[in-house]
Each structure stands twice: as structure tokens, then as C-alpha cells.
């Protein structure tokens, strides 16, 4: 996987290009979880100055892909079972609320159309043997779908929080390529249908069901288990058995 991406290395002159390059390398595992990012080495490899590199680090930190390290540096986020537990507990609180608000928002239609487009493309990728690039795209489409629903809520602060949470879950696509995309896309369609119906309670439940099922799938991928326990309880924890 790393080899496939390294073949495409090129000079990236702008902050957004640096951000995109590093983000893709982190999600694909080219830059490993827990790795300390050395400015000098990266600047030399990408053929850029340290200024755009530092700005890219800030954006990646806000996305949850980096954590603060020693000496004012950054370390690639290590996605553990505990990380998923915390992320999904927050998603269970925020995303059903976003779907509920979207069902009540008369200006939600353009964002729902974008969500449907993401679902359609993700359905094309619902096949075995995805390439590293396709896995990255699937993760981006999944995150993009949830971003569209958040935008449809009309609550800008909610959009920001959900964006940060969904950035973390993209790690799983490169690490676990055999996740069942067909189940995910069907649940996405059910969410859009419920929101379009204008039934706020139904939309809320459809999203809650999806996030719970997504967590169940994440745990199966992590541990090879199907029992996830009472993860909707903020006091509950995920423990490998």
C-alpha cells in the first residue's frame, strides 16, 4: 500500500497541497500511527519550506489526525479501541441530532443531494479487492456523507464538531479493507429517506441506528468480535476480551 502511494511523490508547493498529501499518507499508513513528524525531514522530502508544512500540521491536528507531541511537535494519532469508543460515543450524541435538525430544515435539499451523490459513488466501490486509492476514496465518501447531513442541519458549530469526529474514523478504511460497504450505503440511503420525509424522530432514529451499527462493525474489525456491549452508555468502555 505504501509503495503505491510513494510512486506518486511530487513537489507540493501550497498549503492545501501539503495538507492533502500528508493526510493521504497518514490515512494510507505511509506515515505510521505514533510516528513523530520531523519538520526538517518532511520539508526536504516534499521540497517545501517549513511555513506551509507547519500550517498543514495545524489543519491535520484540527482534523484529529495529529496529536501534540514533545517539543511543540506533532505525532500521528494512534487509533485504538479506546479512540473509537470515545469518537462513537460523541457521534451517538451529535449525529442523530444533526439528522433531526436536517429533517426540520427547509434549506436542507442541496446538501441532501450531495449526500445522495456520495452514496451512489460509494455503492460503486462496494466490492472486494479495493485498491489503496479506492479505500481512501471510500473513507472520504463516508466522511463526506456525514458532513453533508451535518450541513443540512443548518448548525455551523455542529458541522465543525462532526467533521473532526469523522476525520478520525477514516483511519479504519486503509487498516481494514474488508469492511462491509454495502451495509453502510444502505443505512446511508435510509437516513436520507427519513430526512426527506420530514419526520424528525424517524431521521434521528435512522442515524442513531447507523452509528450504532458502524461501531459494531468497527469493533468486529478491531477484535473479531460481534458483541459490543452497552456502548451507548457514556460510562461504558470497550475492552478486548
β-sheet with 66-68: strand ranges across: 36-37, 74-76, 66-68
Q: What is the pLDDT of residue 102?
A: 98
What residue spans of 1-38 are helical by DSSP H? 2-6, 15-28
3.40.50.11540, 1.10.10.10, 3.40.50.300, 1.10.1200.10: CATH of 2-76? 1.10.10.10
Q: Could you tell me which residues are beta bridge partners of residue 36?
A: 75
Average pLDDT over residues 73-77: 89
1.20.1630.10, 1.10.3720.10, 1.20.120.530, 3.40.1440.60: CATH of 81-223? 1.20.120.530
**Residue 152 near residue 114 (C-beta atoms within 8 A):** no
User: Which tens digit of pLDDT belongs to each residue from 167-182?
Assistant: 777 776 766 666 678 9
**Residue 130 near residue 230 (C-beta atoms within 8 A):** no
CA 43 to chain centre: 26
User: Which tens digit of pLDDT belongs to each residue from 99-129?
Assistant: 999 999 999 999 999 999 999 999 999 888 7
Average pLDDT over residues 44-69: 88
Percent with pLDDT over 70 in the chain: 82
Q: What is the pTM of this model?
A: 0.75
Residue 29 has pLDDT above 60, yes or no: yes
* Integer Cα distance of 208 and 199 in angstroms: 14
224 conformational bin, left if phi > 0, alpha if psi -120 to 50, beta if neither:
left
129 conformational bin, left if phi > 0, alpha if psi -120 to 50, beta if neither:
left
User: Please, what is the angle between helix 132-152 and helix 181-196, to 10°?
Assistant: 20
Domain residue ranges of the chain, discontinuous segments joined by +: 2-76, 81-223
Amino acid at each position: 500500500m505504501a509503495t503505491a502511494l510513494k510512486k506518486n511523490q511530487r513537489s507540493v508547493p501550497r498549503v492545501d497541497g501539503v495538507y492533502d498529501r500528508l493526510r493521504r499518507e497518514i490515512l494510507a499508513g505511509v506515515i505510521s500511527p505514533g510516528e513523530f513528524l520531523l519538520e526538517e525531514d518532511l520539508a526536504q522530502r516534499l521540497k517545501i519550506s517549513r511555513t506551509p508544512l507547519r500550517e498543514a500540521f495545524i489543519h491535520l491536528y484540527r482534523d484529529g489526525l495529529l496529536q501534540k507531541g514533545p517539543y511543540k511537535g506533532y505525532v500521528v494519532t494512534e487509533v485504538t479501541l479506546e479512540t473509537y469508543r470515545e469518537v462513537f460515543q460523541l457521534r451517538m450524541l451529535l449525529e442523530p441530532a444533526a439528522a433531526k435538525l436536517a429533517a426540520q430544515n427547509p434549506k436542507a435539499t442541496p446538501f441532501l443531494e450531495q449526500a445522495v451523490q456520495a452514496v451512489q459513488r460509494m455503492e460503486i466501490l462496494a466490492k472486494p479487492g479495493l485498491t489503496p486509492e479506492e479505500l481512501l476514496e471510500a473513507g472520504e465518501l463516508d466522511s463526506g456523507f456525514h458532513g453533508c447531513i451535518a450541513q443540512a442541519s443548518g448548525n455551523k458549530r455542529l458541522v465543525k464538531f462532526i467533521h473532526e469526529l469523522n476525520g478520525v474514523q477514516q483511519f479504519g478504511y486503509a487498516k481494514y479493507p474488508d469492511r462491509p460497504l454495502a451495509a453502510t450505503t444502505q443505512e446511508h440511503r435510509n437516513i436520507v429517506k427519513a430526512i426527506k420525509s420530514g419526520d424528525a424522530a424517524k431521521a434521528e432514529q435512522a442515524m442513531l441506528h447507523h452509528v450504532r451499527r458502524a461501531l459494531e462493525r468497527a469493533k468486529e474489525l478491531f477484535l473479531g468480535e460481534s458483541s459490543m456491549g452497552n456502548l451507548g452508555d457514556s460510562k461504558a468502555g470497550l475492552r478486548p476480551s
